[in-house]
Amino acid sequence: MASMKEVSSNKCAGGFQKVFEHESTELKCKMKFAVFLPRRTCLPWFCHVFLSLSGLTCTEQNFITKAGSQLGAAEHGLIIVAPDTSPRGCNIEGEDEGWDFGTGAGFYVDATEEPGRTTTACTRTSLDELPTLINANFPTDPERVSISGHSMGGHGALICALKNPGKYKSVSAFAPICNPVQCPWGQKAFSGYLGSDRSTWEAYDATVLAGSYSGPQLDILIDQGRDDQFLSASQLLPDNLIAVCSEKKIPVVFRLQPGYDHSYFFIYSFINDHIKHHAKFLNA
């Protein structure tokens, strides 16, 4: 079991917002993650986990300082776990040459191509290593976990839930990249991390995965800003996912929010709805 080092701790919403660092055995480097602990974790009962995955260019700090999630989490007794988006400072060739590939842009895939193969295992980290660390050190119930994310993190949340039926009680996303094999962001990332064989990309595409999903009912909540510049640039492609989910009868609440863009102002405006969505299933 990897050891953790507490980096910071701040009183927040009656509980504590903490950041930790650990040596990742999957990513072969040090990684940070944030944990919000509601006040009730001081008492002898378990809390349920809301795992939040951030988007391109983000660290663990973006969600905990901008989303305003702590009050809602405190009200419903949820622990929020927010990992960093990718390895940092690993001295990988080209890791800092672009904002949409490399540092801050792991795309929640397990890379098979060099130079990132040994350090970009973000799906295994999100699914296995980090939850194991959380469950060993905090009063959680490993059977009661939900997952959410924004943009690239929304892509990560959707694929984690669709690839692992029954692992998460619920899933939600803000402006997710829904069909990355068909958009420029996804094509750049997947060709760099997974190689030129496009058939291997489909394992990380929510629209493709939804088409073959056969697990227990998965209730999905998606919020999308109508004035999102990346929606109009055909990077997000939510209509493709909604069409497949409708065909497969996967329950999706999709809300197109007028006037909202891709920013954290958008997330802040609707985060409580997402927390309530997850609490309904986690606390049932």
pLDDT (tens digit, 9 = 90+) per residue, 228-272?
A: 999 999 999 999 999 999 999 999 999 999 999 999 999 999 999
Instruction: Categorize the per-residue pLDDT at 1 as very low, low, confident or very high, splitting at 50, 70 and 90.
Output: very low
β partners of residue 78: 48
> Which of 151, 170, 274, 278 is an active site residue?
151
Q: Give catalytic status of residue 262 as yes or no.
A: yes
Tens digit of each residue's pLDDT (9 = 90 or more) over 50-59:
999 999 889 8
Q: How far apart are CA 174 and CA 87, in angstroms?
A: 23
Q: How far apart are CA 208 and CA 119, in angstroms?
A: 26
Instruction: Of 177, 170, 148, give the one whose Cα is nearest residue 237.
Output: 177
The conformation of residue 17, written as its DSSP 8-state character, comes to E
Check if the beta carbon of residue 124 is closer than 8 Å to that of residue 26.
yes
Rg (CA), the chain: 18
Q: Give catalytic status of residue 199 as yes or no.
A: no
Check if the beta carbon of residue 24 is closer than 8 Å to that of residue 125.
yes
What distances in angstroms separate CA 66 from CA 75, 83, 252, one per listed residue? 18, 15, 26
Mean pLDDT of the residues in the chain: 88
Q: How far apart are CA 90 and CA 123, in angstroms?
A: 18
Instruction: Of 224, 212, 229, 284, give the one whose Cα is nearest residue 253.
Output: 224
Which amino acid is residue 3, in one-letter code?
Answer: S
Token reading at 101: 């590939």
> Which of 76, 150, 262, 277 is an active site residue?
262
Token reading at 23: 């040596």
Token reading at 260: 């909202």
Q: How far apart are CA 222 and CA 208, in angstroms?
A: 17
Tens digit of each residue's pLDDT (9 = 90 or more) over 154-203:
999 999 999 999 999 999 999 999 999 999 999 999 998 899 999 999 99
Q: Give catalytic status of residue 196 as yes or no.
A: no
Helix (H) or strand (E) holding 72: helix 70-76
Q: Are strands 29-37 and 15-24 parallel, antiparallel or unpaired?
A: antiparallel
Higher pLDDT: 7 or 94? It is 7
Check if the beta carbon of residue 206 is closer than 8 Å to that of residue 158.
yes
Q: Tell me whether the omega of the peptide bond preceding residue 131 falls within 30 degrees of 0, making it cis.
A: no
Q: How far apart are CA 178 and CA 145, in angstroms?
A: 22
> Which of 24, 228, 277, 278 is an active site residue?
228
